[in-house]
Structure 1
Amino acid sequence: MNIIVTGANRGLGYEITSAAAQRGHTVVAGIRSDRPDGKLRDLLERFPARIVAEELDVCREETVARLAKKLEAEGKAVDAIINNAGILLSRGATIETLPMEDVARSFEINLYGPMRVIKHLLPLMPEGSPRAIINISSEAGSLTNAYGGDYPYAISKTAVNMFSKQLKKYVKGRGIRVYAVHPGWIKTDMGGEKAPGDPAESAHGIIDIIEMKKDVDPESFFINFKGEPMPI
């Protein structure tokens, strides 16, 4: 499968890229710069035939459009898109102290980013064999379990859930599965050192979903990395 991963340079995005390559998939690792570094560069050296790093800044639509045109010119279809790039700002801020620019920035990356990616890359997902779109969400985006905090992150993830639901309806009958996926509280730069979850485990669970190795309720759109429904 040809898989596109945004925010692939670190954290969950890196682990998803690694898991997909280990399983023999071809991965376009989207990163904000024009060249990889650190762990991703080492991963590219391990899997030179399976991973290619491409500039893909979800806040700059021209980079998304450029990648789409490049893939189209190369005659490459897209089997799966994993919208992983995200940001967590103003953790712990009360509504009285919340910087509104952090809310705007969160929506710019967490919601508008995936929308830009789908806008330009969905046309490269032709009907036929099963394909998948995974929008990385969070339990923080659940209306049922809403709590008074993390306003920019939580509200933007609720919006991601809505976008996923809309997209699922839009592509119904085209062989494209759409899910908003809660990866768990995992030990990454965003999740922090106290997080109990292993990002590698979440990554492999997400690839399992793409490979249809998880028994997911066809009516579900908000699920965890094990394929289990999350409270909306």
Structure 2
Amino acid sequence: MKIVITGANRGLGYELTAEAAQRGHEIIAGIRSENPDGKLLDLINRFPGQIEAVELDVCREETVDRLANSLTAKGQSVDAIINNAGILLGRGVSIEELQMEDVAQSFEINLFGPMRIIKHLLPLMPSGSSRAVINISSEAGSLSNAYGGDYPYAISKTAINMFSKQLKKYVKGREIRVFALHPGWIKTDMGGDKAPGDPVESATGIMDILEMKKEIDPDHFFINYKGEPMPI
């Protein structure tokens, strides 16, 4: 399976890349720089021929278009997309003190980014139930459980849930699975040290979903990393 993962150099993106490589998949690891370094470079060396790091800045559509053109020129398709790149700004800031630039940037990365990826890479995905799009969302995006805070992050995640639902409808005839997925509150740069969840456990669950090892009601689109439905 060829999997595109955005934000692959750290946090959940890195753990997803590592888990996918260990399972024998081929990964296109999207990063914002031209050259991988640090632990991602070490991972690439551990799994030669399985991980290709590419410049893929979800805020710069030309980098997404370049990847699509490169894959097309090689006659390659994409089996799965994990839109993982995200940002958390304005945490705990009241509406009175909110910087609208934080809202705009959150939408730029958390919503427009995945939309750019799908715009250019969906045409390269064959039909069939083994194919999937997973948009990393959050419980913060639940309308029914809105908690009145983290406005940039929460509202952008509600928006990615809507986009996921629309995309699920759009590709229904092609049997491609689409999920907005809550990975849990996990210990990453974004989640912080106080987070109770393990990103490795989350990555394992997400890969199980990708490999269809979990039975999920086809009507559900907003789920957690265990495959359980989330309140919309």
Alignment of 1:86-165 (within 5 A): 86-128=86-128, 130-165=130-165
- Aligned match of 2:224: 224
In 2: Cα distance, 1:181 partner to 1:86 partner? 13
The share of aligned pairs that are identical, in percent, is 78
- Structure 1 stretches lacking a partner, 5+ long: none
The TM-score with structure 1 as length reference comes to: 0.99
In 2: Cα distance, 1:170 partner to 1:14 partner? 29
In 2: Cα distance, 1:199 partner to 1:173 partner? 33
- Aligned match of 2:66: 66
In 2: Cα distance, 1:166 partner to 1:62 partner? 24
- How far 1:126 sits from its partner (Å)? 1.6
- How far 1:129 sits from its partner (Å)? 5.5
Once the two structures are superposed, what CA deviation does each residue of 1:40-86 show, in whole Å capped at 9, x if it has no partner? Answer: 01101101211010000000000000000101111111000000000
- Aligned match of 1:167: 167
Letter in 2 for 1:25: H
Once the two structures are superposed, what CA deviation does each residue of 1:176-229 show, in whole Å capped at 9, x if it has no partner? Answer: 100000000000000000101000110011111110001111000000000000
Contact 2:129 2:177 in 1 (8 A): no
- How far 1:175 sits from its partner (Å)? 2.2
- Structure 2 stretches lacking a partner, 5+ long: none
In 1: Cα distance, 2:168 partner to 2:73 partner? 27
2:137 is the counterpart of 1:176:
no
- Residues paired across the two proteins, number: 232
Structure 1's 104 and 162: CA in aligned 2 closer, same or farther, altered over 3 A?
same
Letter in 1 for 2:137: S
SS in 1 for 2:72: helix
- Aligned match of 2:37: 37
In 1: Cα distance, 2:223 partner to 2:176 partner? 16
